[in-house]
Amino acid sequence: MVEHLLTRLGVDLSAHAAGSHAVHTPIDGSRIGTVALDDRAAVAARIERAQHAFEAWRAVPAPRRGELVRLFGEVLRRNKQALGELVSWETGKIAQEGLGEVQEMIDICDFAVGLSRQLYGLTIASERPGHHMRETWHPLGVVGVISAFNFPVAVWAWNTALALVTGNAVIWKPSEKAPLTALASQALLEQAMREFGDAPAHLSQVSVGDRDAGLALVEDARVALVSATGSTRMGRDVGQRVAARFGRSILELGGNNAMILAPSADLDLAVRAILFAAVGTAGQRCTTLRRLIAHESVKDEIVARLRSAYAKVRIGHPLQGSLVGPLIDKASHDAMESALARARADGGKVHGGDRRLQAEYPDAYYVAPAIVDMPAQTEVVRHETFAPILYVMSYADIGQAIRLNNEVPQGLSSCIFTADVREAELFQSALGSDCGIANVNIGTSGAEIGGAFGGEKETGGGRESGSDAWKGYMRRQTNTVNYSRELPLAQGISFD
Ligand code: NAD
């Protein structure tokens, strides 16, 4: 099945025939491919080639660069079904979520095409007569993209669509758990390049590799920007290494996202939003809802309603109509079990969380999503466990709820369910949520590409995708032009 999909998507695995890195599907644990990993020398050679590509590409007018991304969007539209399915096989996402991820790629292509005619700079009033000032934005160089397993293709597309229209070359180091979708996405981009005609060779490359290949990108001063998505542990390492060589980084790291459920909340709406945000993608989204901070007057009712909704959720093969697929691997299941044990030790009451379908799939890790009624926000709650665990805590007043929302090291996504406009505005004000995303009556996950995506504190501070995130992929230049016959100095300085 996977081989057939790869062929349809234009992937030639013969280049990887001698590879020894096995790729397993989390659906049943079976091997679905073998790839060769880049060593440091191979990455260095890619950087060299990318630099040449950059030198040619930066001279191409931005709207023409946009044409390549427009063609890529068209290729993706034609291959949405196959690539979506491959995402499901490689990561265990349910069919709808695999397709949704490809749609996100298409959406960012559309956004980037428009952007290619809108890379605006400012004009600035000069204090000197006969002068004008302006700000211009120039391509940056080689962009290294390091991505996580859980959004194996969309995150690369966010980065690549913007990096290409802004005039850069890209080297992508995908997760070693999801190299096949990366090779397929690259093959589709190459198809768009052939239709485009004269894109420089090696404008976009995939470096299939592990942490070592990532480090080779991170430590090389020729890589102007490293955009890294993954755990906070990875980001702490990458951020420091890139900073040490004065490189630029965009860090998109772990989240620990909360919902405040106010007494006035529409509980029917809230149950649906919680279910999608806490259980979707088997709890393996950076924006997954992990903490529910419910007013003491509604907490018991929401827990009861959630328990009954959770009981109806179908867990199983992601391409056969289930809502919850498997965890990515055994390590992930071990982490979930150990978090639940710690929560119990802290006085938490655990509902669900048990392993499922073990007889049918002994080498895969399906779990029942867990709800944990916690007496307080203890250490285990402050930590991101990348699995479907929803900790529920109660609050008495809105100030306390906002403090609980903010009292974790991460700062990615947050939301409040309320019908009280004062609470909603407070939550989104400077005194409210300290996260990069703060929603009202919408869950924490499922962002649109039009907004800037990212979070504060240990989430890394990076912004990708919409709004003016494109500026992260360009260098800013301030220009002053003297069109007079005098040479007045700024600040009125006389130097005669
Ligand atoms: P991970 O940190 O294990 O790996 C991510 C990527 O980093 C992989 O490609 C890996 O090979 C590479 N890597 C790891 N250590 C490295 C190092 N020292 N130097 C260079 N590269 C290195 O993460 P994962 O398990 O694949 O993904 C799950 C994590 O990603 C979660 O914490 C999740 O919240 C986070 N995530 C964040 C966002 C976001 O936008 N904020 C999006 C998706 C996932």
**Is the Cβ atom of 162 under 6 angstroms away from ligand 1?**
no
CA distances to 373, 416, 442 from 109, rounded to whole Å, are: 42, 31, 25
User: Is residue 177 very low, low, confident or very high in pLDDT (cuts 50, 70, 90)?
Assistant: very high
Mean pLDDT of the chain: 97
436-447 confidence digits (pLDDT tens): 999 999 999 999
Model pTM?
Answer: 0.97
Ligand 1: atom nearest CA of 148 is 26
334-380 confidence digits (pLDDT tens): 999 999 999 999 999 999 999 999 999 999 999 999 999 999 999 99
CA–centroid distance, 235 to ligand 1, in Å, is 8
CA–centroid distance, 228 to ligand 1, in Å, is 7
Long-range CB pairs of 39-45, under 8 A, 24+ apart, other chains included? 39/209, 39/212, 39/213, 40/212, 40/213, 40/215, 40/216, 42/207, 42/209, 42/213, 43/171, 43/173, 43/207, 43/209, 43/213, 43/216, 43/217, 43/220, 44/216, 44/220
**Is the Cβ atom of 230 under 6 angstroms away from ligand 1?**
yes
Ligand 1: atom nearest CA of 149 is 26
Location of structure tokens 């890790």: 365
260-312 confidence digits (pLDDT tens): 999 999 999 999 999 999 999 999 999 999 999 999 999 999 999 999 999 99
- What average pLDDT score do residues 46-50 get? 98
Could you list the active site residues?
252, 286
CA pair distance 154, 459, nearest whole angstrom: 18
pLDDT for 184 equals: 98
- What average pLDDT score do residues 133-154 get? 98
Collapse the DSSP code of 10 into the 3-class scheme (helix H, G, I; strand E, B; otherwise coil) and give the result.
Answer: coil
C-alpha radius of gyration, the chain, whole number: 24
209-227 confidence digits (pLDDT tens): 999 999 999 999 999 999 9
pLDDT for 17 equals: 82
Quick check: 22 pLDDT over 90? yes
The single-letter DSSP state of residue 33 is E
- What average pLDDT score do residues 400-429 get? 98
The total number of residues shown for the chain amounts to 496
For residue 324 the two structure tokens come to 């919850």
pLDDT for 14 equals: 86
Q: 362: buried, middle or exposed (CB in 10 Å: 19+, 13-18, 0-12)?
A: exposed
Nearest CA to ligand 1 atom 43: 286
- What average pLDDT score do residues 41-47 get? 98
For residue 177 the two structure tokens come to 């758990």
For residue 298 the two structure tokens come to 């509604």
Q: 469: buried, middle or exposed (CB in 10 Å: 19+, 13-18, 0-12)?
A: buried
pLDDT for 15 equals: 83
pLDDT for 425 equals: 98
- What average pLDDT score do residues 474-480 get? 98
The helix (H) or strand (E) run that includes residue 5 is: helix 2-8
Of 449, 397, 390, whose CA–CA distance to 420 is shortest?
Answer: 397
Strands in 156-245 per DSSP E: 169-173, 204-206, 223-229
pLDDT for 335 equals: 98
Quick check: 132 pLDDT over 90? yes
**Is the Cβ atom of 90 under 6 angstroms away from ligand 1?**
no
User: Is residue 16 very low, low, confident or very high in pLDDT (cuts 50, 70, 90)?
Assistant: confident
